[in-house]
Chain A
């Protein structure tokens, strides 16, 4: 870190902060690098980790962009999501997350105080997840060209030798487990947008899942594959996994963990909670023999207290995912077409 940081006097970001000159340097140093504290001040991060040198270790690399309205919401903000989302993409693939990059597209007029809050939130979540934000970029665009701020993070992690989580290894009989109630993030965001005038206590489930994955794999070494059920919700994630696996998945409606508030929001809007986005909820397939060990290990962690079995892999049927209803009927759980739209009546 530099010894002295000029306090940024501006209250709002102007196009000058994107001009490549002194104003930009002041913004970057005062708001970003003073908090993220990256190693060295070159335009690239130069990194070493002993785990990468183990024979058979593999590098995992992923990226994700984040656009959320509103940028701050109950349970998180776009900064926290930008860290959790990329950490989770690494973690569910079996990687230990190590380093992140963070790039910001900032709308002219964005409050500097808001940026500071987002950066603090990112630093907090990164520390919690055990990753460092080591490089980044900022751009400022004209008012109206983006919505307040967009963040892109890329992440690098290391997959230990011998670990190979892959949806293609899922077999009939494997058990599907989730760590958390479904749909909290999607429902909280809908409520937070305010145009529904819904008043709920719902909070986004936004959380990093790296530590949970490590505990899970330690307890259930036969773990087949995991995914975080973000956009498109559990339904879309399971469809992708089933298609990759070459088998089908049968869910049990009674077993699906849902908060009454989420059910309520969905009832009012005609939405299906299986399609609501999550930001800290994963679905994992483990062999039946390891299911109880996996559940116990997950429930011992704060991120996994709500862990429960929601269904299982079955031999390939004509559709990837079905749901056994509370009445004993069966229905297809399809991929979402476009976006879920609230129904007229």
Chain B
């Protein structure tokens, strides 16, 4: 494209050509296929979550009348069925890992200082681990006769 074709004031943007990665360009620590598996996981878990989460939202917010109907007894009724326990457990794990990997990508994209990037990711992984552990514990140890 020549400069004459551009509108006045527009700047040309040159996009560097994609480079073929050679072994000499590989840094140590990037020899695994972790990023490939992370990319694949986002797509596989994404498809499953479309069913699990949209189903959850549709049932909870529309079919079952929304938050107005929700109380301890409602939860007890739902988790009396192993089907919904497995549904919620799968949704918890997949959504948490999917979201964590998404936020990991965003942290990698926007942080420049190595120390900050590392710290933010450690906060993220800690919060994720605690939340998955808490949610899993609650589903497995739920007691409808707690009082």
Query: Bound pair: A and B?
Result: no
